[in-house]
Amino acid sequence: MQPAANERLARWDRAFELTSVVPLGAFVLLHLLDYGRVLFGAEEIGGRRHPSLLVLAAEILLVWLPLVGHAAWSFAVVRRRRAAEPGSAAILAHRIAGVFTGLFLVDHFVRFRLPILRGLSHPSDAVVRLAAELSTTRGGVPWIAAWNLAGVVAVAFHLAFGLRRIAERSERFRASRAVHAGCVAAGVVAGAVGILTILRLAAGA
């Protein structure tokens, strides 16, 4: 492959990674800042107001549409990379986490976020409903809590791996141990706070 073609492909790969880590990072950060407050004794999470049109438009354009585009784009990227790159356990785990992340986000959007966007419920209603669902069991097994825990772990891993891929494609950050450690730390913090929040909500906080 010619150098120009290689550079063009590298730019497309960077764009592909960015369509994941930027909106996913925003999703994670906002949820940690909001839902994570339950770990510090907050009695009410979310608000009783509907988000403004500006907030709704920004959320759709900057979070959900890029994530949908990334998911659609991933089929072609995975096919190309499977033919061009050697497989590894880490890459396989990343792809599996990507599938779980996609399913988790779709479930979250349809059941919790879409009613808010449509003006049918408030953010605080979604948190109350989530807490009620997390504390339920079927056959003695907390399936919904387990599903949410798996989704949080998948999101955290997918985000950390995506950040690391971007660092590896950058000449400036490729050899930086601090940057690579920061990518891992971002995933660990997101996963740990998310897991603790789910457990706290499931316990009836």
- pTM equals 0.86
Q: Cα–Cα distances in Å, from 63 out to 12, 27, 71, 169?
A: 19, 7, 12, 23
The alpha carbon of 195 is separated from its chain's Cα centroid by a whole number of angstroms, namely 13
Residue boundaries of the structural domains of the chain: 3-202
pLDDT digit string, tens, across residues 124-164:
888 888 888 998 999 989 999 999 999 999 999 999 999 99
Identify the CATH assignment for 3-202 out of 1.20.1300.10, 3.40.390.30, 1.10.287.70, 3.40.50.300.
Answer: 1.20.1300.10
- Residue 52 is which amino acid? S
Strand partners, 141: 138
**Predicted local confidence at residue 123, as pLDDT:** 80
**Phi, psi values for residue 100, rounded to 5°:** -65, -40
- Residue 73 is which amino acid? W
pLDDT digit string, tens, across residues 63-103:
999 999 999 999 888 888 777 777 778 888 989 999 999 99
**Predicted local confidence at residue 5, as pLDDT:** 63
Q: Is 20 left (phi over 0), alpha (psi -120 to 50) or beta?
A: alpha
Q: What confidence category does residue 7 fall into, taking pLDDT thresholds of 50, 70 and 90?
A: confident
Q: What is the dihedral of CA 20, 109, 147, 27, to 10 degrees?
A: 40
**Predicted local confidence at residue 43, as pLDDT:** 66
DSSP 137: -
